[in-house]
Amino acid sequence: MIAVLWYRLRRDTRAIIGLGVVLLLVAAAILAPLIARYDPTSIELVNQLAAPSFSHWMGTDYQGRDVWSRLVYGARISLTVGLVSQGIALLLGVTLGLIAGYYGKWVDDVVMRLADVTLAFPTLLLLIAMVAALQPSLGVVFATIGLVGWAGMARLVRGQVLVVRQLEFVHAARALGVRDRRIMIQHVLPNVVAPVVIAATLGMAGAIMAEAALSFLGLGVQPPTPSWGSMIADGRDLNQLRNAPWTSVFPGLAIGAAVLGFNLLGDALRDALDPKRLLAVTANAEARKAA
């Protein structure tokens, strides 16, 4: 199964590009102390709005801070927000979706109504309202993005569980007296992992965009911590856009590249994990071996 999946991903251009972009971002985040040439929070007004040069590869901002250094350290924030918030969304969404789909009846009604209420609000407005009601901080950003994202994950898992719970091996486990908890964890959950992985990969892109939007509005990561969204906000005035566009163009390109990379990887995973295509590839491989 894994070999077939890897075979399909290697032949998909989207997977190669997406995985390459994601690996570059991860490498930049991990190696930030080594590849950043300056302290991302160090202010040098004498170098205010310096153009890109050998000394400052991507120029400096209005406080003389090196844009490249802030960009690579900002990758840490974006990836951490994506991972932690998606972890929260997965924990809540998978757990509640599994319970709702397996037990049904009033449990399903309660969970799905809660999901409907969450999904009824525009995502960005709900995020702004939740963060504004609390003290803006990195932890609050983690929690709010994760809490807002659980509903879609729960609906996805619940739909998959409704199908899996009707299969014969689940009925056989019930007939043998296996406990519900063991059935859900050992028999039902493994059969809904594929769509969850795809949704989580695509959700990483959404979480990065959400964090950037909140930081742009001043409700996300607080200064002087570098964040791609706050970097764009710092360079949004007309004077900088005309005379020093690098202060906002480079972080904007970083956000676009990160979102594109995760979306391409998610789309490739969706096609690679398609059961019909996996069966076809497996059958062809077995036919070649037999021949």
Residue-range domain boundaries for the chain: 75-264
pLDDT at 128 over 70: yes
Amino acid code (one letter) for 69: S
pLDDT at 262 over 90: yes
pLDDT at 119 over 90: no
Q: How would residue 139 be classed by pLDDT, with cut points 50, 70 and 90?
A: confident
Percentage above 90 pLDDT, the chain: 35
d(CA 198, CA 166): 23
CA-to-CA separations, 86 to 94, 114, 129, 247, in angstroms, rounded: 11, 19, 20, 29
pTM: 0.86
pLDDT one-digit tens code per residue, 181-192:
888 888 888 888
Q: Which residue has the tokens 């995502």?
A: 123
Mean pLDDT, residues 82-104: 91
Comparing CA positions, the residue from 37, 34, 124, 24 lying closest to residue 78 is 24
d(CA 283, CA 281): 5
Helix (H, G, I), strand (E, B) or coil at 60: strand
Q: How would residue 2 be classed by pLDDT, with cut points 50, 70 and 90?
A: low
d(CA 77, CA 63): 21
d(CA 139, CA 214): 13
Averaged pLDDT score across all residues of the chain: 86
pLDDT at 201 over 80: yes
Contacts of 83 (CB under 8 A, 6+ apart): 204
pLDDT at 194 over 70: yes
pLDDT attached to residue 193: 85
| Fold (CATH) for 75-264 | MetI-like fold (1.10.3720)
Q: How would residue 238 be classed by pLDDT, with cut points 50, 70 and 90?
A: confident
pLDDT at 276 over 70: no
